[in-house]
Amino acid sequence: MRQALETMLSMQHRMNTRVHEDWINQNFEWYRAIWIECGELMDHYGYKWWKKQEPDMSQVRLEVIDIWHFGLSALFRSDTQIEQLAARVASELQAAHDGVLGVREATEALAMDSLQTQSFSVVRFTALMQACNLSFDELYRHYVGKNVLNFFRQDHGYKEGSYLKLWEGREDNEHLAELMEVLDSQSNDFPSDVYEALKAKYPG
- Region 110-138: mean pLDDT is 95
DSSP conformation letters of the chain: -HHHHHHHHHHHHHHHHHH-TTGGGGT--HHHHHHHHHHHHHHHH---TTS-----HHHHHHHHHHHHHHHHHHH--TT--HHHHHHHHHHHHHHPPPP---HHHHHHHHHHHHHHHSS--HHHHHHHHHHTT--HHHHHHHHHHHHHHHHHHHHTTTTTT----EETTEEHHHHHHHHHHHS-TTSTTHHHHHHHHHHHH---
The predicted-structure confidence for 183-201, as pLDDT tens digits, reads as follows 988 888 899 999 999 999 9
Asked whether the predicted pLDDT for residue 126 surpasses 90, the reply is yes
Q: State in words which class domain 2-134 has.
A: mainly alpha
- Region 54-59: mean pLDDT is 90
Which of the four pLDDT bands, split at 50, 70 and 90, describes residue 19?
confident
> Which residues fall within 8 angstroms of residue 196, CB to CB, at 6 or more apart?
none
- Give long-range contacts, CB 8 A cutoff, 24+ apart: 191-198: 191/7, 191/11, 191/144, 191/147, 191/148, 194/144, 194/145, 194/148, 194/149, 195/148, 195/151, 195/152, 198/148, 198/149, 198/152, 198/172
pLDDT for 187 equals: 86
Asked whether the predicted pLDDT for residue 98 surpasses 70, the reply is no
Is there a contact between 163 and 132 (Cβ–Cβ < 8 Å)? no
Asked whether the predicted pLDDT for residue 22 surpasses 70, the reply is yes
Is there a contact between 132 and 57 (Cβ–Cβ < 8 Å)? yes
The predicted-structure confidence for 134-164, as pLDDT tens digits, reads as follows 999 999 999 999 999 989 998 999 889 999 9
Nearest CA-CA partner of 139 in 154, 124, 126, 120: 126
Asked whether the predicted pLDDT for residue 33 surpasses 70, the reply is yes
Which of the four pLDDT bands, split at 50, 70 and 90, describes residue 104?
very high
Which of the four pLDDT bands, split at 50, 70 and 90, describes residue 75?
very high
pLDDT for 13 equals: 95
Tell me the torsion sign for CA atoms 18, 19, 20, 26: negative
Domain boundaries of the chain, sorted by first residue: 2-134, 139-201
pLDDT for 162 equals: 93
